[in-house]
């Protein structure tokens, strides 16, 4: 999710619990937020989502959770969750059980990584970074 990483860098110093909302017509708004919890590997987690509405209720289309790791000057986002409310699907590819044992579903993890790459390509092509940079510089 290079596009999201670039947006986070452009945003600068972010406070815990931050929420970034990016309007980018004609595309759905994009929300990036710190959900103030640790992921399955103990790293901070962010939610990245498009939200639609159905009967007045917000619907994730989709939402992904990513663990965030800073590696030098680079931000690495590792997906472990995918949800689409319109389809009624919620998937964890990595999680800890009640005894804190880590489980990773390798095939599902690869699917989440593949979807994240495709979504990132679309976000970049649709100009979300530029929309954020433009609105952030005002």
**pLDDT given at position 136:** 83
Distance in angstroms (rounded) separating the CA atoms of residues 24 and 13: 23
What DSSP designation does 39 have? -
Confidence of residue 67 (pLDDT cuts 50, 70, 90): very high
**What is the tens place of the pLDDT at every residue in 71-114?**
888 899 999 999 999 999 999 999 999 999 999 999 999 999 99
Contacts of 93 by beta carbon, 8 Å cutoff, 6+ apart: 79, 80, 81, 82, 104, 105, 108, 109, 111, 112
From the number of C-beta atoms within 10 Å of its C-beta (0-12, 13-18, 19+), residue 133 rates as middle
The answer to whether the CB of 46 falls within 8 A of the CB of 65 is yes
Q: Which residue has the tokens 């970049």?
A: 124
The answer to whether the CB of 34 falls within 8 A of the CB of 16 is yes
* Antiparallel, parallel or unpaired: β 19-24 and 44-54: unpaired
Task: Record the pTM.
Answer: 0.94
Confidence of residue 70 (pLDDT cuts 50, 70, 90): confident
| Cα–Cα nearest to 11, from 32, 38, 26, 36 | 32
The answer to whether the CB of 86 falls within 8 A of the CB of 52 is yes
Confidence of residue 35 (pLDDT cuts 50, 70, 90): very high
**pLDDT given at position 132:** 97
Asked whether the predicted pLDDT for residue 138 surpasses 90, the reply is: no
Q: What is the mean pLDDT of residues 15-22?
A: 97
């Amino acid at each position: 999710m290079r596009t999201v990483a670039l947006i986070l860098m452009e945003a600068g110093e972010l406070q815990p619990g931050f929420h970034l909302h990016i309007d980018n017509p004609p595309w759905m708004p994009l929300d990036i937020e710190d959900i103030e919890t640790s992921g399955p590997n103990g790293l901070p987690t962010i939610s990245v989502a498009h939200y639609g509405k159905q009967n007045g209720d917000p619907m994730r289309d989709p939402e992904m959770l990513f663990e965030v790791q800073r590696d030098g000057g680079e931000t690495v986002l590792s997906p472990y969750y995918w949800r689409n409310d319109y389809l009624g699907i919620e998937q964890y590819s990595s999680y800890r059980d009640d005894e804190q044992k880590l489980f990773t579903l390798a095939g599902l993890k690869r699917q989440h990584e593949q979807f994240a790459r495709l979504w990132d390509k679309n976000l970049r092509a649709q100009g979300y970074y530029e929309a954020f940079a433009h609105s952030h510089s005002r």
